[in-house]
Amino acid sequence: MSSGISLGVSGLEAEVGDHICGLYAGQPQRDQVVIPFLEAGLAAGDKCICVVDETDPAKIFKKLGRSGATSASAPAKQLDVIRAADLYLRSGQFSADEIIGAWKAAVADAMYDGRFNLVRAVETWSRRDVVPDMQELLQLESEMNRYMPLYPQIVVCLYDIERFGAGIIVDLLKTHPRMLIGEMLIENPYYLTPDELLAGASRDLVPDEPAAGAAYDSDKAIAEAAKWYFEETTGST
C-alpha cells in the first residue's frame, strides 16, 4: 500500500515534508490545483491552509462548498483561507523572517490542537495584492526548506507565470526540491539547500560543478535550466 499523500491532482502523491512549486497562467489554471488539493486534504482530515493572492477568500470557500468539501461534517477550524496581504504584510512590509515566524506559529497551533496529523498548505502568488521584494521572496522560499522538517506538513507554492515572467523560473528552481509540472511531480536537479544558496549566492545556477578553473557562464546556466524545464513540460527529450 502506498505511503504517499494524495495531492488531489492527476493522481499524484507527495511525501511529508515536500516543498513543491508549480506555475500557472490565470485563475482557472490556479484553481485546477488549489481546489482539488484542498478537497483531498479536507477529505483526509488534514489541517488545510490556503493563502490566496488576487482573490477574496470567500470565493475559495464557495468553490469548495459547491464540491461538498466544506460540509457541516468537517471538523471546526480544519480550513483557513487567508488573504495574502493579511499574512505577508502584517508589519506593513514584506519580510521573509516575519513570514516564516507566522508560518511556524500557524502550523504549531494546528499540531498542538491534537486533531490533525498533517498540515497541507497552498500559497498563490500573482503580484497583485502583494508585490514582494524579489530577494526577500527568494530568501523566504529558501528558508522554508529549513522549516519543513519541523512538523508533518506539505507546502505547495503556485506562481502566476504571466505576472512574474519566465525569469522567475531560475529562482524557483533554486529553492524548491520538487516541481509540479503538468500532470507530473518532478525531482528538481537544480535545487540548492539554504546553506548552498547562501554559500554560493553569487554563482550561477548549474546542475553540476564545472571543471577546476572553468568560469561560470550565466547565459548558459539559465539556458540549461530553461531547456530542462521546457523538456519536462512538453515531454520532449
For 145, the grid coordinates are 526548506
Comparing CA positions, the residue from 117, 125, 42 lying closest to residue 87 is 125
Give the domain extent around 123: 5-191
pLDDT in tens, 135-160: 999 999 999 999 999 999 999 999 99
Tell whether 222 is covered by a domain.
no
Q: What is the CATH number of the domain that holds 158?
A: 3.40.50.300
pLDDT band at residue 217, thresholds of 50, 70 and 90? Answer: very low
Tell whether 200 is covered by a domain.
no
Comparing CA positions, the residue from 37, 69, 15, 57 lying closest to residue 157 is 37
Q: How many domains does the chain have?
A: 1
Q: Which residues pair with 22 in a beta bridge?
A: 158, 180
Tell whether 153 is covered by a domain.
yes
- H-state helical runs in 148-178: 161-164, 168-175
Tell whether 214 is covered by a domain.
no
Tell whether 86 is covered by a domain.
yes
Q: Is 185 left (phi over 0), alpha (psi -120 to 50) or beta?
A: beta
CB 39 within 8 A of CB 173: no
Main-chain phi, psi angles of 191, to 5 degrees: -65, 140
Average pLDDT of every residue of the chain: 84
